[in-house]
Amino acid sequence: MGLGGDNDQEGTGPAADAGPETPVLRISQLDALELDASLEQLIWTQFSACFQNCRPGVLTPLEPELRALLHLLLWRFTLYSNSATVGQTLLSLRYRSTQGPSPGYRPLSPRQKLSLAVLTAGPRWLQERTHSLLSSLGFSQGLVSGGNDSLLQKGLRNALTLVSGVAKLAGLINFLVFLKKGRHPVLAERITGAQAVFSKPNVVRDVTYQYMNREMLWHGFAEFLIFLLPLINTRKLKATVSSLVFGGGSAGGDKAKEGSEAWKECALCGEWPTMPHSVGCRHVFCYYCVKSHSIADAKLTCPKCGAEAGPIQPVKVEAGKNGQ
């Protein structure tokens, strides 16, 4: 009895894993459409990148046709082969046919699949090519010829505007019905009789309290680190650790060892000092380096020796040191 008895009568296999009576969440159907659109845009971006070294706008004249061809290629290897788009496959969904008396799963017929592809890609291509089609028919010059041509042009434009408005209104009404009943988010699915159903049993996830507590703890710790790390003066911390590890007695040894090396590079940027200045220690800094760092850090310390920065004074290079 119930769902178990119905599944036994329908048979076994993939078609009987999830009954068509199981409602599919509206957000899942909309997410599948968004995933399909994102995939199509991603492939188009990769395809356009292949022509980035060509002259600009080389794909513009044929862009509507190329996009329609891309949509048909995706349809051929996804919906036509598996009765499901890429977005539906990721969400464990697929299409079933609502045309027929059987309540069980019925795959889409080839005619339904082809109709769904045409109704999806056709209106978009026609909307992008309307101006070009009118131009090819000689109706793009406005009301300049007078007589029957102007009346024909005006009537054709009004007809196209009316058809476009009716299609948009029908799409809006269909979406409102979808929000109420949860079936057929786009008008093409309702026309062709394609309905999204689960391809696998809808298993409820069992998320334990320990898992959620651990995830919340790690997320909170990560946000705390993101807030704290920019506030740490890593340069001063490095100088402090160096002075503690090597001790203060190494200053004299470093001075004797380095000699004039301290005068050949900026202690901040490591380049030859431009407009050399000092802050009270034996190291030399570029003026703009030490000035900008002193403005950013009121308690600036030398990154080499860890000495606190004093007044910024210009360095007078002696002739002997300059010769070296």
pLDDT tens-digit profile of 160-172? Answer: 888 888 989 999 9
pLDDT tens-digit profile of 65-118? Answer: 899 999 999 999 999 988 899 999 988 899 999 887 766 788 899 999 999 999
Q: Where are the domains of the chain?
A: 2-198, 234-323
CATH number for the domain whose boundaries are 234-323: 3.30.40.10
pLDDT tens-digit profile of 34-72? Answer: 999 999 999 999 998 888 888 888 888 888 889 999 999
Q: Using 50, 70 and 90 to split pLDDT, how confident is the model at 261?
A: low
Mean local confidence (pLDDT), 146-175: 80
Q: Taking 60 as the threshold, does the pLDDT of residue 10 lie above it? A: no
Stated pTM of the model: 0.54
Q: Using 50, 70 and 90 to split pLDDT, how confident is the model at 202?
A: low
- Kindly report the three-state secondary structure assignment for every residue of the chain: CHHHHHHHHHCCCHHHCCCCCCCCCHHHHHHHHHHHHHHHHHHHHHHHHCCCCCCCCCCHHHHHHHHHHHHHHHHHHCHHHHCCCHHHHHCCEEEEECCCCCCCCCCCCHHHHHHHHHHHHHHHHHHHHHHHHHHHCCCCCCCCCCHHHHHHHHHHHHHHHHHHHHHHHHHHHHHHHHHHHCCCCCHHHHHHCEEEEECCCCCCCCCCHHHHHHHHHHHHHHHHHHHHHHHCCHHHHHHHHHHHHHCCCHHHHHHHHHHHHHHCCCCCCCCCCCCEEECCCCCCEEHHHHHHHHHHCCCCECCCCCCECCCCEECCCCHHHHHC
